[in-house]
Amino acid sequence: MAAPILEVRAADVFYGASQILFGIDLAVERGQTMALLGRNGAGKSTTFKAIAGIAPPRRGQIALSGTTVSGKPPYLVARAGIGYVPEDRQVFPEHTVEDNLIVGAKPGPRGDRHWTTARIYEVFPILAGMRHRIAGRLSGGEQQMLTIARTLMGNPDILLLDEPSEGLAPIIVRAIGDLIRTLREMGVTILLAEQNMHFCMGIATHATVIDKGQVVYSDTIAALRGNEAVMQRYLAV
Ligand SMILES: Nc1ncnc2c1ncn2[C@@H]1O[C@H](COP(=O)(O)OP(=O)(O)O)[C@@H](O)[C@H]1O
Ligand SMILES: [Mg+2]
């Protein structure tokens, strides 16, 4: 079997002297949408920062398609195929939507340029109508979409989305959910951090639950849905 697109093995992560993650194991196969679920403070964002090279693990390993990336600086991890969308959706506020997309453009790890602005506008029609607008004037939901689109312009092998629905109105949350489902159906491999498991239903294919910096459950999303005990114990439902 081919190596998973992303594999985290026994990762211990510290901020200074305090250990936040304890032996995290996580594997995402090509085409999966994996939900990384857990309460506020469980360690979801820290897991993403570890993968992205911002909070490198002190022990353990992170590999992309079988090649170790842990120990590399964030820009090399990005070049190796990780597309990381952090919690605080960062656009270049003084530039247009289109310029934000162009800034994100780079070939993928094997030189592929699958994503172009034209393709982005097909998948994100809302951005097509706003291409000349100044990004700083977009709504929070529109900026979230723009950040996801800009990250795709880097042709990543896997897209990491850290709580993309957080702080957005319900109608926008639904639009973001529809967008992620579209990307999944196109075959994009996604790791999605969420507190809200309802948001992940119908979007994710698999789920890994973390609590206090440890993996406590990993299976298909359907299996998790049927596991009342895990949901009650580890998720705010
Ligand atoms: N920069 C930091 N320095 C020290 N502790 C941090 C830092 N960032 C997060 N933490 C702590 O790490 C734990 C996990 O946080 P985080 O990964 O942000 O959780 P989640 O994303 O699941 O809400 C929390 O206890 C949080 O207080
Ligand atoms: Mg977080």
Q: Would residue 23 count as lying in a domain?
A: yes
165 lies in a domain? yes
For residue 72, pLDDT over 80 is answered with yes
pLDDT at 1 over 70: no
Mean pLDDT of the chain: 95
Residue-wise pLDDT tens digits, 21-39: 999 999 999 999 999 999 9
Residue 6, pLDDT score: 98
**Ligand 1 binding residues, C-beta < 6 A:** 15, 20, 38, 40-46
pLDDT, tens only, 194-237: 998 899 998 999 999 999 999 999 999 999 999 999 999 999 76
Does the residue 82 lie in any domain? yes
Q: What is the pLDDT of residue 63?
A: 97
Confirm whether 1 is domain-assigned: no
Q: How many domains does the chain have?
A: 1
Q: Which ligand is nearest to the CA of 20?
A: 1
Whether residue 89 is predicted with pLDDT greater than 90 in this model: the reply is no
Q: What is the DSSP string of the chain?
A: -PPPSEEEEEEEEEETTEEEEEEEEEEE-TT-EEEEE--TTSSHHHHHHHHHTSS--SEEEEEETTEE-TTS-HHHHHHTTEEEE-SS----TTSBHHHHHHHH----TTS-----HHHHHHH-HHHHTTTTSBGGGS-HHHHHHHHHHHHHTT--SEEEEESTTTT--HHHHHHHHHHHHHHHHTT-EEEEEES-HHHHTTT-SEEEEEETTEEEEEEEHHHHHT-HHHHHHHS--
pLDDT tens per residue across span 110-122? 999 999 999 999 9
Which one has a higher pLDDT value, 20 or 201? 20
Average of per-residue pLDDT across 159-175: 93
Q: Take atom 2 of ligand 1 and give the residue whose Cα is closest.
A: 15
Domain with 184 in it: 6-234
Q: Is residue 175 very low, low, confident or very high in pLDDT (cuts 50, 70, 90)?
A: very high
Q: What is the CATH number of the domain that holds 29?
A: 3.40.50.300
Question: What pLDDT is recorded for position 88?
Answer: 87
The alpha carbon of 174 and the centre of ligand 2 are apart by a number of angstroms equal to 20
- Site to substitute for ligand 1 among 24, 40, 46, 165, most atoms within 8 A of C-beta: 46
User: In angstroms, what is the span from residue 214 Cα to ligand 2's centroid?
Assistant: 15
